[in-house]
Chains A and B, each alone.
Chain A
Amino acid sequence: MSSTAFSFRLTEGPILSDWARARVLGTDAGCVIEFRGVVREQARGQSVLRLEYSAYPRMVETELASIASEMFAQFGVLRIAVEHSIGTVPVGDCSVVVAIAGAHRLEAFLASTAFMDALKERVPIWKKECYADGSIWKGQGS
């Protein structure tokens, strides 16, 4: 069992490991919710070949830690671990994992959804969608 309530790491390329889940396991947990985000082939009618992620690592850590603190306070979950890709992730591969351990399932499910909502709103990570005929920074119109 991890002694740290919040853990985080950035990984170059696809996420292949169970690092996040391993970080939150413990005998005090009645459940572990593990969200794995996977690169989808279709985006706005275009065929995506791969995503290219960039990040501001120092601020990724501060924002994720801040979100985790909110989740601990709001939902009373026990531990949270987050792993996010940077660099290139092909279609079908995993680019983000959020693992949350809770005493009971409802609080962990709610925290999992709320965590991903906050991550997409606040955490300075950017994805470039790459197609056969070009690429676009998602949400930035260029």
Chain B
Amino acid sequence: MQVQVLLFAGLADTLGKDSLELTLPAGATVADLRSAAIDLLPALRGASFRVAVDAVYANDDAALVESGELAFIPPVSGG
């Protein structure tokens, strides 16, 4: 399945874009998404980020669906 991942703040600056597209096997999990993104973009390897699915933080074992809105969330610093 084809997914798009939203990027923010330092992650977007590091990668020079505010989203990325990835192809994942059906049934892929959040952990698979992380691995695939790091394989595609080695600059992500040392980066700290959580994954959000449909605007909610997701655990590594959560299954992805093609229609979900995905985002990599670097350490937040609001306030």
Contacts and interface: CB of A to CB of B under 8 A. Distances in A.
A139 B77 CA distance: 7
A137 B9 contact: yes
Given A62-B56, A137-B13, A120 B8 contact: no
Interface in B40-79: 48, 52, 55-57, 69, 71, 73-79
Interface string B1-37: 0000010111101100000000000000000000000
A20 B6 CA distance: 29
A123 B76 contact: yes
Interface of B: 6, 8-11, 13-14, 48, 52, 55-57, 69, 71, 73-79
Tell me whether chain A's interface is mostly helix, strand or loop, or mixed. Answer: mixed
A130 interface: no
User: Which bracket fits the contact residues of A?
Assistant: 20 to 34
A37 to B, nearest CB: 5
A58 B10 CA distance: 19
B12 to A, nearest CB: 8
Interface of A: 37, 53-56, 58-59, 61-63, 84, 95-96, 116, 119-128, 137-142
Nearest to A54: B9
Contact of A140 (B52, B55, B75): B75
A59 B52 contact: yes
A55 B55 CA distance: 12
B76 A126 contact: yes
